[in-house]
Amino acid sequence: MKALCFNSFGGPEVLYYGEVPEPVIGENELLIKNKAIGLNFADIYRRKGNYHLTGKTPFIAGYEGAGEVVRVGRNITDIQIGDRIGFADVPLANAEFVAVPYEKAIPLPDHISFEMAAASLLQGLTAQYLISDSYTVKSGDTALIHAAAGGVGQLLVQLCKHSGAKVIGLTSSEEKRQTVLNTGADEALLYTDDWKKHLKEQSKVDVVFESIGSTLMDSFEVTKVSGTVVFYGFSGGNPPLIDPRMLMDNSQTLTGGDLWSYLTSREERLKRSSVLFDWISKNIVTINVSKTFALSDGAAAHQYLESRKSTGKILLIP
């Protein structure tokens, strides 16, 4: 089969479209013929060597996608050849075929296309746990969302609005500011603005969804007494160390979030993905696909994602 591979760490130029052996599935696995694959910054980190990779070269990145079952492990009785399956945390996904463990296989309802599944599962399930497990957003809250034009950011904007909150998005350009407003935010501020002063004048916010890292202390500055900062990423650099006395003085809460702490079983995957698919079917959230690339053109897709020009999901099509 064909796959997007790399033998050494580096820039997009290390990627190549080559021939690799087709996966051999175990008795509790499915062989999926990929129809659409989600590209994420984690794939860039793997290509650069920021994430530890095991095994021999060629390396194959990718964890998220959707496709059709072409082979079924002998212990699996409730999934058949031809069924439509999505997945959010299965390695070696940047290929024509991928072996998916039964517990990680998410059956797709008829109204969810392969492309929609590949564009929504990882970021959608992340947004789902952030607004329901990390902090329960409620009517009357004011929520500040960092990187609001990104995939998770846009979903958080929509979900916080649906929950009745006032939503303020932070982003990095005028074009992205318009994207955030079009997504439904009440306000969209630029990082180059004096956004902290603006928010302090508005009596601060109840919750901050913090994914930048280096802005963690800024987030606390604009959070109300008894407010919460939800830390779930550090795309802008490592966060500073926090003195717990600061939290005590302002009765503030710092909580962390990681999707893999919640996708702990097949039952959890099915339950949480069902909620996400219901939001999509009812137009509570709209999934923005920024651009699609052929899997064979994966190097260009990586370059486009790294340029930060994208304001939606990037898909790879085998």
What does each of the 318 residues of the chain score in pLDDT, given as a tens digit? 999 999 999 999 999 999 999 999 999 999 999 999 999 988 998 999 988 787 899 999 999 999 999 999 999 999 999 999 999 999 999 999 999 999 999 999 999 999 999 999 999 999 999 999 999 999 999 999 999 999 999 999 999 999 999 999 999 999 999 999 999 999 999 999 999 999 999 899 999 999 999 999 999 999 999 999 999 998 888 899 999 999 999 999 999 989 999 999 999 999 999 999 999 999 999 999 989 999 999 999 999 998 877 888 999 999
Q: Say which amino acid occupies 100.
A: V
Burial of 50 (C-beta count, 10 Å sphere; 0-12/13-18/19+): exposed
Whole-angstrom distance, CA of residue 201 vs CA of residue 197: 6
pLDDT of residue 309: 78
Superfamily of domain 2-121+263-317 in the CATH hierarchy: Medium-chain alcohol dehydrogenases, catalytic domain (3.90.180.10)
pLDDT of residue 283: 96
Given a contact cutoff of 8 angstroms between Cβ atoms, the answer to whether 250 and 228 are in contact is: no
Half-sphere exposure of residue 286: CA atoms within 13 angstroms, side-chain side: 9
Whole-angstrom distance, CA of residue 16 vs CA of residue 12: 9
Fold of 139-256: Rossmann fold (3.40.50)
What contacts 99, CB < 8 A, 6 or more positions away? 23, 24, 25, 26, 29, 30, 31, 32, 90, 92
Given a contact cutoff of 8 angstroms between Cβ atoms, the answer to whether 36 and 291 are in contact is: no
pLDDT of residue 46: 93
pLDDT of residue 236: 87
Residues of the chain with CATH 3.40.50.720: 139-256
Nearest to 36 by CA among 256, 316, 295, 267: 316
Nearest to 161 by CA among 172, 173, 169: 169
Residues of the chain with CATH 3.90.180.10: 2-121+263-317
Which residues lie across from 59 on neighbouring strands? 6
Given a contact cutoff of 8 angstroms between Cβ atoms, the answer to whether 94 and 37 are in contact is: yes
pLDDT of residue 205: 98
